[in-house]
Structure 1
Amino acid sequence: MADPKQGATVAKGHEEAMKMAVSLLKEFGLPEGMLPLEEMVEAGYVKETGYFWIVQKKGTKHLFKMISKQVSYDAEISGYIEKNKAKKMKGVKAKELMLWPPVNEIVVDDPPTGKVHFKSLGGITKTFPVQAFAAGQCWKPNRK
């Protein structure tokens, strides 16, 4: 199988990796505060396929206060990004009751309705206001 990272643009170090991640979110119409990551090591993107990945020193958890939703980010996150959508994601989980189902797909309504939908592999879909994930939203880091 071919390496999904082949032909990628790669950013190293926290500052450069964060810039790349935020610019990808902006470019594809996804909320800019959706990946409140710390100590990023690397971010990469393959324009031809839409494959992206992000590596942090260690996993983190964040509480998105506006919606009281805790999200867990593994040390490595990957998936495919396209207009208003990130799919086939790995490394992101959202707390639901006592479970941590993986988030497989994130979709922003087009045309915009102010809603973003998070889908898990089990078919569960949760919808939230886009502004809950806007850049600069208060979140509380909580180390894994």
Structure 2
Amino acid sequence: MSSQIIASHRENAEIYNGDSKICKLKSNELLEKIRMPKGLLPLEELEEVGYNETTGFVWMRQKNSKEHKFKSLGKLAWYDKVITAFVEDQCLKKITGVKSKEMLIWISINEIKIDDLDQKKIAFSALTGLTRKFPVSAFEEEEE
């Protein structure tokens, strides 16, 4: 399904592939452009990053899916091999390929947005209506 969506947005998209370091750099530049914290998508072994500025569609393809623990929050996130979203200033919408562990179950994240009223908070929303807010600072790039 995601490959069909990506194919429909490839025309006129800025696409980087092959070099993992360049793909990581471009994914960080995109997060910076939309004013989101660079540690929000701690993806590794990126194989492709694409961004269609006209439609706001972005995709990131990594070699393997990845589980990541945000240490300052003690929260687990899971990133599929392919992550897609529509981006705008301080917001990722219609996200696919990102889940958060709540209690014992994995919840698909549909939207990530900096809080309009409190710019120091970032909200993660699921299709179920569940929303959690955390400090933006918890998603800055972590030291290895």
Q: Work out whether the TM-score is over 0.5.
A: yes
Q: Pick from 27, 32, 57 the counterpart of residue 26 of structure 1.
A: 32
Q: 1:11, CA displacement in angstroms? A: 1.0
Deviating runs (4+, > 4 A) in structure 1?
Answer: none
Corresponding residue number in structure 2 for 1:72: 78
The one-character-per-residue Cα deviations of 1:54-97 (angstroms, maximum 9, x if unpaired) are: 00001000000101110000000001010010000000000001
1:62 aligns with 2:68: yes
Matches within 5 A, 1:1-144: 3-12=8-17, 13-110=19-116, 113-135=119-141, 137-138=142-143
Corresponding residue number in structure 2 for 1:142: none
The one-character-per-residue Cα deviations of 1:12-67 (angstroms, maximum 9, x if unpaired) are: 12111111110010110111111111111000000101100000001000000101
Q: Unmatched 5+ residue regions in structure 2?
A: none
How many residue pairs are counted as aligned between the two chains? Answer: 138
Counterpart contact for 1:118–1:125, Cα < 8 Å: yes
TM-score (normalised: structure 1): 0.91
Q: 1:125, CA displacement in angstroms? A: 0.2
Q: 1:4, CA displacement in angstroms? A: 2.0
Counterpart contact for 1:53–1:76, Cα < 8 Å: yes
Q: 1:110, CA displacement in angstroms? A: 3.5
TM-score (normalised: structure 2): 0.91
Q: 1:5, CA displacement in angstroms? A: 2.2
More helix by share: 2
Mapped to 2, the partners of 1:97 and 1:111 lie a distance apart of 28
Mapped to 1, the partners of 2:105 and 2:143 lie a distance apart of 24
Letter aligned with residue 3 of structure 1: S
Q: Tell me which of the two structures has the higher relative contact order, counting C-alpha pairs closer than 8 angstroms and 6 or more residues apart.
A: 1
Q: 1:138, CA displacement in angstroms? A: 4.9
